């Protein structure tokens, strides 16, 4: 049976949606076949983030990681969204000191999205596949990010990669993992 470290977003909540918000500043270590780190429901609370929106619209995340989530051999995704809400967006921020570290030897998945919209802000370290599937997805990075192994796959839809560097800041983003 598949085990899950953190599960949020039960559709039987009082608002009858899957809104779920988790913040990790500690350590989550996965072991066992198909074990999942963080499993979140879809959000109708978060309006899709617009890169051109000067107001930011970016104070809340489905999953905020400033800790470490590590996957062992043959584990499932470190972060997965179970479903989506067409009017909302699933959103992850991996902070500068955050790490999502899947096992590369067994094809580990760091983040698994849905056929809805997801926005991933990677300012820390991600190792493993980022599989966003269908929908209009965004992957935002800055100079503090690192990405190792696997692929970043937006799936179908209109997908966007945003390099967010400040004036005079030197940053490197390797586009090779993009599919």
Per-residue pLDDT tens for 4-61?
998 887 766 666 567 788 899 999 999 999 999 999 887 777 777 776 665 555 667 8
User: Long-range contacts of range 171-174, CB-CB < 8 Å, 24 or more positions apart?
Assistant: 171/141, 171/142, 171/143, 171/145, 173/141, 173/145, 174/147
The predicted-structure confidence for 97-126, as pLDDT tens digits, reads as follows 999 999 999 889 999 998 888 999 999 999
Whether residue 114 contacts residue 85, with contact meaning beta carbons closer than 8 Å, is answered with no
Q: Which among 142, 143, 139 has a CA at the least distance from the CA of 129?
A: 139
149 DSSP assignment = S
pLDDT at 46: 76
Confidence band, pLDDT 50/70/90 cuts, at residue 144: confident
Mean pLDDT of 71-94: 88
pTM of the model: 0.87
């Amino acid at each position: 049976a598949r085990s899950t470290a953190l599960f949020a977003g039960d559709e039987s909540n009082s608002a009858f949606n899957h809104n779920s918000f988790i913040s990790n500043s500690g350590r989550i270590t996965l072991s066992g076949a198909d074990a999942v780190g963080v499993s979140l429901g879809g959000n109708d609370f978060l309006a899709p983030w617009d890169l051109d929106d000067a107001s930011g619209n970016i104070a809340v995340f489905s999953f905020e990681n400033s800790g470490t989530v590590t996957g062992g051999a043959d584990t499932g995704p470190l972060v997965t969204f179970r479903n989506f809400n067409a009017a909302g967006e699933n959103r992850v921020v991996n902070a500068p000191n955050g790490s999502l570290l899947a096992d590369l030897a067994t094809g580990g998945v760091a983040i698994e999205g849905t056929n809805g919209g997801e926005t991933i802000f990677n300012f820390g370290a991600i190792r493993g596949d980022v599989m966003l599937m269908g929908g209009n997805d965004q992957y935002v990075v800055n100079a503090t990010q690192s990405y190792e192994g696997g692929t970043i796959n937006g799936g179908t839809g209109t997908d966007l990669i945003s390099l967010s560097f400040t004036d005079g800041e030197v940053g490197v983003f390797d586009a090779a993992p993009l599919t």
